[in-house]
Amino acid sequence: MNCIRLKKGLAQVDLVDRIEARIDTTNISRIEKGRTNATVHTLFRISQALEVPLSEICSLKSTQPQ
Would you kindly state where each structural domain of the chain is located, as residue ranges?
Answer: 2-56
The answer to whether residue 62 scores a pLDDT higher than 70 is: no
The per-residue pLDDT for 63 is 47
The per-residue pLDDT for 44 is 93
Name the CATH superfamily, with its identifier, for domain 2-56: lambda repressor-like DNA-binding domains (1.10.260.40)
Contact 28, 12 (CB under 8 A): yes
The answer to whether residue 65 scores a pLDDT higher than 70 is: no
* 3-61 per-position pLDDT tens digit: 899 999 999 999 999 997 788 899 999 999 999 999 999 999 999 999 999 999 887 66
| Start-to-end C-alpha separation, the chain | 24
Residue 40: what residue type? V
| Cα 37–chain centre separation | 11
pTM exceeds 0.85, yes or no: no
The per-residue pLDDT for 21 is 76
Contact 57, 43 (CB under 8 A): yes
* Cα gap 62→20, rounded to integer Å: 31
